Amino acid sequence: MLRIFANPRLVSKPVFQILAPRRCFALRTPINTGILFVPEKEAWVIERLGKFHKALSPGLNFCIPFVDRIAYVQSLKEVAIEIPDQSAITSDNVVLHLNGVLFLKVKDPYRASYGVAEADFAITQLAQTTMRSEIGKITLDNVFKEREALNLQIVHVLGKAAEPWGIECLRYEIRDIQLPQKIKEAMQMQVEADRKKRAAILESEGQRESAINRAEGMKRSQVLASEGERTQITNKALGEAEAIRRLAESRADAVRLIAAAIETKHGTSAVQLAVAEQYIEAFSELAKQTNTVLLPAQTGDVASMVAQALTIFKTMNEPPAHPNTPSGGRSTTTSSTTDSAFGEPGAGQTGSSVHTRLIGNTLSASKRMLRATRTPTQETHRSTDETQDQSTETMPDVERVSSAR
């Protein structure tokens, strides 16, 4: 819409005022009827005789028709201006296409009317140039990372530039950023690589935690196993110690009983018989378990073997000579009754008869041992040995054994 006003000072030169609807805060000027009602959040700039007179506030106002003229109508509301697409180059030489939205408000109607012609157009151009210069200071990655900081910087620069125009820039928002196709593909590859990297890191951390947990579990199990083994060994050692102690006590009791039995009547003869039997039994066991038999020099003389064992026992059993006892004499002890294990001599039996019976039993055991240890090469002499054994068993006189002792 075009309106033509005649300038009284320059009648020959018309003045054109364009009231375009695209303006956001410059509204269409009404006709001065003398009585004016100014709407809320609007400011009417009045000129009197071509000179600024005043700015009408909202409400009822009076003006002189044909003298006062409503030159400008400014909106005091917050206005959003769309910033069209523009190209910008980042510091790493990437061409971008950006657009945005600027929010502003008129603070001073006089400056907004007389400070700049078409303030909205001026603000739009200023916003584009400011955004282009700020984009050139940062890299492509920072454009996305520091988008909020970029908006604040653009608002700060626009506010300082629009202050003489009576316009306050409230905020600026980058609405869209368009990248070249190759840059998009490269960024997509980078994003995929970064995601794979993070997935690998998370997987490795999971494996590390799993290995640590397994190691801790193995360590704990080994500690518990070692503690259990230590407890088992300790208990076993205590049990063995207790068993050894009890065995030692039982052996001590047995030794005390044997010592008491030896002190009884015929106790020495019984011990001599036991020693002889153990001596012969040892040779019998050697013959059973191996082909190599260790025998004394005189294997055929059983009486000599028994006499040798009994002599060793008597030598170990003889008490030391008493100081008051004459040299060559032995101390005598009073023998008590024989231990129940060897039996009491019956009526009419003497100590020598019991001794003779025990020696006879020993000789019989010796003959059995000789039969067990006889080798095949000795079979030719078997009949001769049996004849000697029979003559030895029927021999009434046992003094040969006594003389051998």
Residues 248 and 282 in one domain: no
Asked whether residue 332 is assigned to any structural domain, the reply reads no
Q: How many CB atoms lie within 10 A of CB 404?
A: 15
Residues 52 and 94 in one domain: no
Q: What is the pLDDT averaged over residues 86-110?
A: 88
Close Cβ partners of 362 (under 8 Å, ≥ 6 residues apart): 273, 276, 277, 280, 306
Residues 270 and 399 in one domain: yes
Asked whether residue 69 is assigned to any structural domain, the reply reads yes
Asked whether residue 327 is assigned to any structural domain, the reply reads no
The stretches of 264-397 forming alpha helices (DSSP H) are 267-289, 302-317, 351-373, 382-393
Close Cβ partners of 296 (under 8 Å, ≥ 6 residues apart): 305, 308
Reference 373, options 298, 310, 288; nearest CA is 288
Close Cβ partners of 97 (under 8 Å, ≥ 6 residues apart): 85, 86, 87, 88, 177, 178
Q: Which domain-ending residue is among 75, 93, 120?
A: 75
Q: What is the pLDDT averaged over residues 173-193?
A: 87
Q: Which domain-ending residue is among 43, 75, 107?
A: 75
Residues 355 and 375 in one domain: yes
Residues 284 and 391 in one domain: yes
Question: Is residue 212 predicted with pLDDT exceeding 90?
Answer: yes
Residues 295 and 245 in one domain: no
Asked whether residue 222 is assigned to any structural domain, the reply reads yes
Question: What gap in Å lies between CA 285 and CA 146, rounded to an integer?
Answer: 101
Residues 309 and 400 in one domain: yes
pLDDT in the model for residue 210: 92
Residue 332 class from Cβ within 10 Å (0-12 exposed, 13-18 middle, 19+ buried)? exposed
Residues 83 and 166 in one domain: yes
pLDDT in the model for residue 40: 87
What's the CA dihedral at 156, 158, 159, 162 to 10 degrees?
170
Using pLDDT thresholds of 50, 70 and 90, give the confidence band for residue 395: very low
23-38 pLDDT, tens digit each: 445 567 778 788 888 8
Question: What gap in Å lies between CA 285 and CA 195, rounded to an integer?
Answer: 84
Residues 218 and 234 in one domain: yes
Question: Is residue 17 predicted with pLDDT exceeding 50?
Answer: no
pLDDT in the model for residue 363: 59
32-66 pLDDT, tens digit each: 788 888 888 888 888 888 888 888 888 888 888 88
Asked whether residue 157 is assigned to any structural domain, the reply reads yes
Question: Is residue 94 predicted with pLDDT exceeding 60?
Answer: yes
Task: Please state the φ and ψ torsions of residue 348, each to the nearest 5 degrees.
Answer: 85, 0
More confident residue, 305 or 112: 112
What's the CA dihedral at 148, 151, 155, 156 to 10 degrees?
60
Question: Is residue 379 predicted with pLDDT exceeding 60?
Answer: no
Residues 91 and 142 in one domain: yes
Q: Which domain-ending residue is among 179, 202, 217?
A: 179
Asked whether residue 379 is assigned to any structural domain, the reply reads yes
Task: Please state the φ and ψ torsions of residue 254, each to the nearest 5 degrees.
Answer: -65, -40
pLDDT in the model for residue 326: 44
Amino acid at 402: S
pLDDT in the model for residue 315: 64
Give the predicted TM-score (pTM) of the model. 0.43
Question: What gap in Å lies between CA 71 and CA 88, rounded to an integer?
Answer: 39
Hey, which bits of 107-183 come out as E strands?
167-178
Task: Please state the φ and ψ torsions of residue 139, each to the nearest 5 degrees.
Answer: -85, 175
Both structure tokens of 313: 């026992």
Residues 353 and 242 in one domain: no
Domain that holds residue 194: 182-263
Domain count, the chain: 4
